[in-house]
Structure 1
């Protein structure tokens, strides 16, 4: 997950999101003066964490997403809810520009859409984004692995699988490993698994073949680093 802070303005949290496109009193509001100060795009578990953090910091938050069943819509810190047709591509841009407030995005393909159309989005939002090639590197696990290795960053040993002949390289890794598509776009679009732990070379080969067939793109296999979830950190 890559989550980029595109802007932040102070406000005060109110309770009671309604679905779709309404606020606490149940009426849709379109005037800028009464809109909350931040928009979180994506109501998944990543979005819930950001909504909680912003709300606890005293920021008004609108949650935008495609399904009312996702958890961030039901947070006490969400002051409003907006239904978006999609979280990437032209339909997403239309909804985003219509809303036009401070923005937090929670999925990689949303970040990529904003990055690719940053001049258009910048008409309504103050953007804090790296240049396009750096954004692409951050959302692509293969490109980030290569960047980390070139700069001596402490990352697990990994192998890029582009086809059947690359599977022989699995013999050089320690097991268990984690097998992932190169970007989470495939998770959203093709509904493949975000990640799969494999305990043996044979299991890793089977998972890689399944992913290669399903996404028609690179697969990355990384050595598994044991530890609790409390040792996982994100930069928002």
Structure 2
């Protein structure tokens, strides 16, 4: 059966955990190809894929409720394919492996590796396995290690990252924190001495947003790289150290070579995205991170001819699909997440990096969107309504 025909409806459903922009892209990529999609969400405001015509959405409040509803769903039908859209859902699935693996298709054999990837505390062990260039990084797990020597080994500026993104006792509302001088770093470590095991600190490679490139793709159960999609970031939010807001499809042989090497070195299987930054000083690409899941901008690859969710789905249910190749991405297709990019624009404008006409002309080139889809408009209308409300409240609050 070729499930890529819109007329076919596959008996194996897909279950998407998380219905934000990431989940919306996954649901559309699957739903447009005849796959029935069930999605789980918590927030009515941010998880706009709950409104997509391709999703049967189910709300949950707690992890226990999510597990209960998943088990009920799994017992009612043939094995569904699980898609995790964030690290917290990967952690949830791995924590409940014994209960879920008999009812759902997932990369259950990769549990230990996935734990190592999503636990930033094991970053040093992971990059040793990856064996690719990377920025100097320190963690604070090792007992008996001289803190002063560790701090002195770093060059500033540097970036502080939480070990677990959802549990960040130091950094507050921002995902990451930038430290610009050695004196500031010493003060930071002293003030937060009780929480150092919750973070890692990494030297910053000076770069512009468009120096960041990433590859996203899928390695099947036999270890064969079925698809690879290369992207150059143009803007991100927050600028410098955030998530993609504006990007373009662009093959890069060096980044693809490093990605293949890293995946082979750790024996990775499943969906992934792996990110690099170009180090102008040393004239090489340096590894930033790898995620064992769908990428936030997964709709971009689908719009460029590489439907990663359907490739993964086919592999899980045993359908051979030879129509997708790693080398056939459409080049120079621009992708936009408007909500994030307007934030990036305002931040960059404050720094004098961009003016309104530059930003406007850039987004006029967009042909791939995070939210807008002319045949699935409700998520776009809802997202636009929320954006206008927030803008109105800001104006009133001035």
The TM-score bracket by the shorter chain reads: 0.5 to 0.7
Aligned to 1:20: none
Q: Structure 2: how far apart are the matches of 1:54 and 1:210? A: 48
Question: Does 1:99 pair with 2:73?
Answer: yes
Q: Is the 8 A contact 1:10 1:60 kept in 2?
A: no
RMSD: 3.7
Unaligned runs of 5+ in 1: 1-8, 14-32
Q: Is the 8 A contact 2:38 2:57 kept in 1?
A: yes
Question: Does 1:217 pair with 2:202?
Answer: no
Question: Does 1:39 pair with 2:15?
Answer: yes
Q: Which has the higher strand share?
A: 2
Moved over 6 A (4+): 33-36
82 and 193 in structure 1: CA distance in 2 versus 1, 3 angstrom threshold: same
Aligned to 1:159: 138
Counterpart of 2:150 (choices 143, 157, 169) is: 169
Residue correspondences, number? 205
**Secondary structure of 1:37's aligned partner:** strand
Q: Structure 2: how far apart are the matches of 1:187 and 1:51? A: 30
* Cα deviations by residue, 1:20-60 (Å, 9 ceiling, x for unpaired): xxxxxxxxxxxxx9998322111234334433443465544
Counterparts of 1:1-236 in structure 2, within 5 Å, are: 37-55=13-31, 59-73=35-49, 76=52, 78-86=54-62, 88=63, 90-100=64-74, 101-162=80-141, 166=147, 168-187=149-168, 193-205=174-186, 213=194, 217-225=197-205, 226-228=207-209, 231-234=213-216, 235=272, 236=294
Q: Structure 2: how far apart are the matches of 1:203 and 1:60? A: 52
Task: Say which is worse superposed, 203-212 or 140-149, in terms of deviation.
Answer: 203-212
Per the TM alignment, residue 69 of structure 1 is displaced from its structure 2 partner at its CA by 0.8
* Cα deviations by residue, 1:41-82 (Å, 9 ceiling, x for unpaired): 112343344334434655443321111111442564642211
Give the TM-score of the pair, scaled to structure 2: 0.43
Q: Is the 8 A contact 2:15 2:82 kept in 1?
A: yes
Unaligned runs of 5+ in 2: 75-79, 217-271, 273-293, 295-398
Q: Which has the higher contact order (CA 8 A, sep 6+)?
A: 1
Q: Structure 2: how far apart are the matches of 1:158 and 1:175? A: 12
Per the TM alignment, residue 140 of structure 1 is displaced from its structure 2 partner at its CA by 0.7
**Secondary structure of 1:217's aligned partner:** helix
157 and 130 in structure 1: CA distance in 2 versus 1, 3 angstrom threshold: farther
